Every structure is written in structure tokens, then in C-alpha cells.
Structure 1
């Protein structure tokens, strides 16, 4: 029993961490208790009606009392149901807010290891399980418990012998129901996990629908999807088997008890030791005991489900946030950036991806990273953007460690233009203003101005809806060059102090590349710029080129210096520039 309590402690702690609507729960539970107590009076009233029924003694007032009791019970039950459901909805809304607020602030490293669909399932499905327990099953359990205790006490007062006969079924029922409940809890937990995995796979496939189509992977994804569906079916069938055992078994027990009660009660009525009304009342109380007992199995199953869901929710809520949610605010204009002896590994057990990286970027300089694929260039960008923290060394802006700055202060002063040119579903306007605190105050004039600076104004004007044109999921309604120019316009709007570019023209056709390159050149003016170079032609004018191989810097200098002193860079240059 102690283990059970310890196991449920996190669940109660999680619920208590929310602002529980105490008034609604209190009134709802009181109303539920009143409904149950009123329900306990109905069989007694029925007994009086049956025993005293005759045309001569027929009383409209007594019928009115019974009808009033039924109506009162229905009204109070409705109020109780609504208040408890509303309380459950408010609690789960707070849990979802906490989880969503936490998820979007977790470090990138969490999402490197976790499928986004699984996280979505935790926010939607697992919290829904907690809601059902609070708003439906818990009130039913409380009212059912009161109903059983009240009915048994009244039955003992009415006729203790018949009550003992009825209670003979309890141990027999528990012996069967407890193992079934435990099995049901295991099945339900497996179903939750499989649902999360299935959601993750479905979301990933639909999110990369073009890759799937272009790869002719429909059959592969179909088989993979069917496999997940079959696993879900397996768990569903196991649940169905348990319900198939519980339903008929409870029906058998109930019918057996009813037959015994009617048989024994009929003999008592015939002997004159029991009235017909008392037998009817006894049967009605029996139903008030049986129905809650059948719902108890569902309550304990749901409790186990909620316990499992709580563990997953708490796991997410306990993950440390990104370092630097709090920190200094610092204007980094005209400050040099120094990287000192940086090393980094994605996991403690992994070997270092970067080792002993050191360089300095002065204000307004263009620093390019070159080298073979997989050398660590993109990882270096991840460290500069603080997606990851270095395992060794430090990055300074001026004399301040960037680790000591608040993330919002640091990232608000960095502009990033990637090959992908990530866009959110929505309008061009929404994408330009995405993430800006005062987005509502940005005028159309400002937006058209940055579009013009990015050479994006002409194609945006050609759309019937202009800035309010929908770009589609991931910007699929725009061409690659158009997406890049929107991304550059977005960077212009932020007026970043440091610019980071992952070879933003690498995947464009020659015409788009020329336009985008002009826009980038305009954006780079007066800004410290870091560039990942896939083509050396874009970095020949860089102030400093850092050549990275296998996570280590093997060369630093201008294009001419590396041509002279670095064999592999010279080989790259000969292949690409001649």
C-alpha cells in the first residue's frame, strides 16, 4: 500500500502545483454528495409508495414529493457535473500551459534526441488523461463510495440477513477484478507510449511529405504506418479482451445476487416477515451498490493511466532550461568576439566534435568557416547562437562571456540566414515580424522598406495580397530565391549587430543567386559577419578564413595566405576556382 501511495505522490504534487479552482471543486463535490444522499432516499420513498399503494389511499402529494426529489437530484447532478468538468478543464489547461511554456524553452539538444510528435502527444494526450481522471472518474469514485457506504448502512438497518447474503459476492468479485485492473493498467500504459511513438512518426512523415514523394517512399511509409497501427490495434484488442471479461463477469455477479435476493426476499414476503415495498427498496439499493463498484475498476485503471502520464509530464517539466534564461542585457555594437580554446561534444560519452578552437572577430569583419563536410562548421554556428554550451573554453563578446548574457539579449542582436530559409505557415507579413516584441507597431512602410533592401519588393508586390500573401507550410508557395530574400528582409528588420550565414546562396539558380548575393552584400555592410562557405568563390574577400578539419582548426588567414600555406585549402581552391 505504501508503494502505491509513493507512486501516486508525484501525481498529487503535479495537480497541487496548478492553481486549483477550489471553489468549483468544493461546490461540485458537495453537490455530488447531495445528489448521492438524495438518491439514497429514493428507494425508501419507493418502499412507502409500494407498501401503501391503493386507489383509496392514492396521494398526489406523495407522488409530487417523489417527482420533486427526482428533479432536485437531476438539477444538482447537472450542476455538480459541470463544475467538476470545468475544474478539470482549468487544471489541464494550466498543465498544458506549463508544458508548452517549458517545451519552447528547452535547449535544442532535447529536440535532437526527441521526436516532436512524441512531445505533442505528451501535451495533448497525457494531459487529457489527467483531465478525465479529475473531472469524470474521481467524482464518480467519491459519489460511488458514498452511495455504497450509505446503501449498505441502510440495508443493514432494513434487513441484516439479506445484506450479508448480498455481501458474499464482494470477496469473489475482488479476487477477479484486482488482477484484471492491474493488467489493464499495464496495457493502458503501453497504449500511451505506442500512441506517442505513432504520433511522432506520422508527424515526421507528413512534415517531410515532399521528401517522401520525391523518394517514392509511399510504400515504405505505408508499411511503417501499418506497423504502428497494428501495434495500436494489439493494445486495443488487449483492452477489449479485459473489458470483455469485466462486463460479463459483473453481469453474472449482479444477476446471481439479484436472483438470490429475489428468491430469499420472495420467501420472506410470502412468510409475511418482509413487505413487498421493502424487497423493491432492497433491490434498488442493490443497484446503487453494484453500479459504483463496476465504475471503480475504471477509476483505478484511469488512476494508473494518470500516474504514467504524470511521470512523463514531470519528466518534461524537470528538464533543465537553456542556460541564460536570466542574465545581463548588453549592447554588443562595436565589440570584438573572441573564441578561446573551445571544445564540444554532443554527449558526454561521445568524442569531441570540436577541439581547441580559437579565433577572434573584430567589429565589421567577415569571418568565413571552410573545410570538408562534417568538420564541425555548423556545430560552431550552434555554439555561437548558444543552441549548445561548450564543454570546454569560452566565447567572449568584448570582455563578457556570452554565457553571462540573457538569451533574449544575445539572440535579438544576431541575424541568421540559412540555406533552408525556414518559414512559418502564415503570411509574408507574419514571417517578417516573427518573434519581434513590438510586431503590431511595425508599419507597412517599414516592411516595404526592408523588402526593397532585400530585393524582395517586386515579387511581393506581384502577389494579389502583397504582404498578406499566405506562404504555406515551410514557405512552400514561394521559390527558394524568394524565401531567401524574405529571410534577408527579416534580418534587415531586426538590424542585427552580428550576422550569421550558412552559405545562403548554395542551393539557388544563377539568376536568384545574383539577386540574393546583392541583398546579402547590402546586409553585411558594417556588421560582423560569420559565413559557412560551401563555395570558396563567396569568401575570397573575407577578412579571415578559418579552415576546420575533424573538429580542429588547421589553418587561419586570408584567401591568399591559405592558398600559399594550406595544402588542402589550395586543393579546394584549384578544384572550385579554376
Structure 2
């Protein structure tokens, strides 16, 4: 859905002005024996009656994002490549600090069991001072990454809005006859922000999740390959389930947006022609029509909520099974003295970090 809107926005900037006016019909009213009335407008989406309004969303052509569109998308950030590059470097620094925490904590736990009294206090003091410095570097890197990403996003939004407003304002009048004012304003306000986030915030979050997932899995394999294999056994089925769930939610979300668009069209048309509605005493009929459209949205939302509940319930169950399996096999390894309690603690923390960052992103 986001890619669909991005492509539409790109087409507003680059589309030529060759719009043809086939007919300009005045708004007319026709009284029928059943006291029905119809509206005819020069705007195609405001047609005769609710039947045409209901088809607005479904008649919108499906637009697929091509590699050319992706190229245009990334060219928007070309002037900001220096700031984005610095943000990526800071991202790797902050991620490295974050992923070193479980390993260090595991070593501290082993230190508590190995050393006693003065030697333990001396080593704890050294380790604590070292960690304060490392955490300080991580905090500065994280601050710089977030600041650069957010400010870069706003700079791109400003540039795109300027280009888009300039492109729209220079269109022929036929363009404004065919397009709704609200739709143009929506492209200028919200869609530009979506486009900017696609090349800044989303890339940053994706790289952070990828970096920390790869580092986490690698360190899990380093600590204990056997436990890592146990923990990763549920990854393939969960991954397949996530892909299927994502496709289902994408289709369902499109249906929700289409249904909501139908309800919005009904409200917009009735508010625009409120004098006509009241002249023919059609308030109750229009209220029932709008309520029906909103009820359709609610039914689709019920399906969406059910899908989310089932998916997250199953993933939560699989995560708990993994934790129990790791505890069991980790306890067996500790009894055989092939694994320390610090290593097991580090492994569990890495497993938690990997699952947390993948869940959040």
C-alpha cells in the first residue's frame, strides 16, 4: 500500500499535462416519480449516485513499484548521502556496543564465581569503568544516528514538497477538474512524509535489525553451536508463517482501505451537497448508507484482529518453547562442564535481543 502511494506521488511530479476534457456537464438534478435525485459533476468520482461512489476505490488501477521507481526514490536522497553515510557509520558503532552487552555480562557472571574478595573487587572496578566508557560511546553514536536520520528526513520532505507543489500548480485546469482537492493536499502532506521515511528511517531501522540479528546469531554460534542449532530449529517454520501472514495482512489492509475510501466518498459527497440532501429529505437514507459502509470496515477489521491474534499467539508459543529447550540443553551442557553459567546467560540474552529487534522491526 505504501509503495502504491509512493508511485502515485511520483507520477504527480513527472506526469505531463496532456489531460483531455471530454465533457463539461453542469451539476443537474432530476426528480423521479419515487422522489429520487441524481447528481452529475464534471469530476468523475462524484457521479450520479452511491453506486458510482462505491466503485471509486475498486476502480483505481493497481500500480506496481518497478526498479525505475526505486531508483527515483533513492535519487531523492542523493543530496543527503553524506549525512546518511555518517548515520550508517554511527549505526554500526551503536549496534556493536549494544550487542557486546550480553557477552560482557556473561563474563561478569563467570567472574563472580571464579574470583574472591580483593581480586574480585579489583576486576569489577576495572570492568565497570571500561563499560561506562563503552556505553558512553554507544549513547553518543545512537544520538548522532537518530539526529542525522530525522533531520535528513525533514530536509528530503521539504525538497519533495517544493517540487510537488511547483509541479501541481503548473498543471492545466483539466488536471484540477479530474482530481479532488483533498487528494492533492493528501499527496502534498502525508505522502511526502511516507516517501521520505522510505529512504531514511526505514533503511536505518532495517540495517539496525539486520546488523544486530546477524551479530546475535553469530555470537550464539560462537558461544555454543549445539544450543544455537536448538534455538534456530523453529526459525524456518516461523519465517514461512511470517511471510504468509504478511501477504494476507497486505491483501486485507488493501480491502480495509478500499472500504474506508467508499465510506469517505459517501460522507464527502453528502457534505458537499447537504442542501440537496435536505431538500429531498434524504437524511435517514444517507445515514443508513454511511452506516453500512462503516459496518463493512468493522467486519474487515474483525478479520484483521483475528489474524494478528493468531499470529502473535503462535509466535509467542514458539518463543517460549525455544527458551525451555535452551534451558534444558544448556543445563545438560553445564552438568557436563562444557558450558558455564555465564555462557548460558549470554546465550539467552542474545536470543532475546535477536527476537526483540526482529519483532520491533
Do they superpose with TM above 0.5?
Answer: yes
Q: Which has the higher strand share?
A: 1
C-alpha distance in 2 between matches for 1:191 and 1:127: 22
Give the deviation of 1:203 after TM superposition. Answer: 4.2
Is residue 36 of structure 1 aligned with residue 95 of structure 2? Answer: yes
Q: How does 1:1-12 map to 2 (within 5 A)?
A: 7-12=65-70
Question: CA-to-partner distance for each residue in 1:415-446, whole Å, 9 max, x for gaps?
Answer: xxxxxxxxxxxxxxxxxxxxxxxxxxxxxxxx
Mapped to 1, the partners of 2:288 and 2:262 lie a distance apart of 15
Aligned to 2:234: 169
Q: Which residue of 2 aligns with 1:268?
A: 333
8 A contact 2:260–2:294 mirrored in 1: no
* 1:117–1:200 Cα contact (<8 Å) kept: no
- Cα distance in 2, alignment partners of residues 102 and 33 from structure 1: 39
User: Equivalents in 1 of 2:235, 2:109: separation in Å?
Assistant: 29
1:46 and 2:105 correspond = yes
Q: 1:279 to 1:272 in 2, by over 3 A?
A: same
Following superposition, the deviation at residue 110 of structure 1 comes to: 3.5
Please name the residue that 1:385 is paired with: none
Distance 1:140 1:41, change over 3 A: same
1:14 matched to 2:79: no
- CA-to-aligned-CA distance 1:384-443 (integer Å, 9 cap, x gap): xxxxxxxxxxxxxxxxxxxxxxxxxxxxxxxxxxxxxxxxxxxxxxxxxxxxxxxxxxxx
Deviations 1:85-110 (A, max 9, x none): 33233333433433333333333334
Q: Deviations over 1:241-263 (max 9, x none)?
A: 33223322221222111111111
Is 1:248 matched with 2:313? yes
Q: 1:82 to 1:211 in 2, by over 3 A?
A: farther
Deviations 1:350-387 (A, max 9, x none): xxxxxxxxxxxxxxxxxxxxxxxxxxxxxxxxxxxxxx
Distance 2:191 2:255 in 1: 13
Offset at residue 210 of structure 1 (A)? 4.8
Q: 3-state DSSP class of the match of 2:338?
A: coil
Are 1:143 and 2:208 counterparts? Answer: yes
- The answer to whether 1:222 aligns with 2:287 is yes
1:87 lines up with 2:152 in the alignment = yes
Alignment of 1:471-510 (within 5 A): none
| Alignment map for 1:179-190 (pairs within 5 Å) | 179-190=244-255
Q: CA deviation at 1:33?
A: 1.7
Q: CA deviation at 1:22?
A: 1.9
Q: Decide whether the 8 Å contact of 1:28 with 1:84 is kept in 2.
A: yes
One of 108, 117, 134 as aligned partner of 2:173: 108
Match of 1:76 among 141, 144, 162: 141
Q: Could you tell me which runs of 5 or more consecutive residues in structure 2 were left unpaired when the two chains were aligned.
A: 1-63
Whichever structure has more helix as a proportion of its residues is 2
CA contact (8 A) 1:15 1:91 kept: no
Q: Which runs of 4+ in 1 moved over 6 A?
A: none
Q: Which residue of 1 aligns with 2:348?
A: 283
Unaligned runs of 5+ in 1: 1-5, 297-578
1:95–1:187 distance in 2 versus 1, CA, 3 Å: farther
Question: Aligned equivalents of 2:316 and 2:272: distance in 1?
Answer: 48
Say if 1:193 and 1:44 are closer, same or farther in 2 by CA, change over 3 A.
same
Structure-1 residue corresponding to 2:29: none
Closer/same/farther in 2, CA of residues 219 and 28 from structure 1, 3 Å limit? farther
CA contact (8 A) 1:269 1:276 kept: yes
The higher-RCO structure (CA 8 Å, 6+ apart) is: 2
**Over aligned residues, Cα RMSD in angstroms?**
2.8
CA 1:157/1:27 → structure 2, altered by over 3 Å: closer, same or farther? same
Return the alpha-carbon distance in structure 1 between the equivalents of residues 331 and 233 of structure 2.
19
1:259 to 324, 334, 345: 324
Following the alignment from structure 1 to structure 2, what is the Cα–Cα distance between the partners of residues 228 and 123? 27
Cα distance in 2 for partners of 1:190, 1:240 equals 14
Q: Over alpha carbons, which structure has the higher Rg?
A: 1
Q: CA offsets per residue over residues 93-151 of structure 1, 9 Å max, x none?
A: 43343333333333333444443333434444444433444444332211111111112
Q: Which piece of structure 1 moves more, 211-220 or 24-33?
A: 211-220
- Structure 1: distance between partners of 2:163 and 2:195: 14
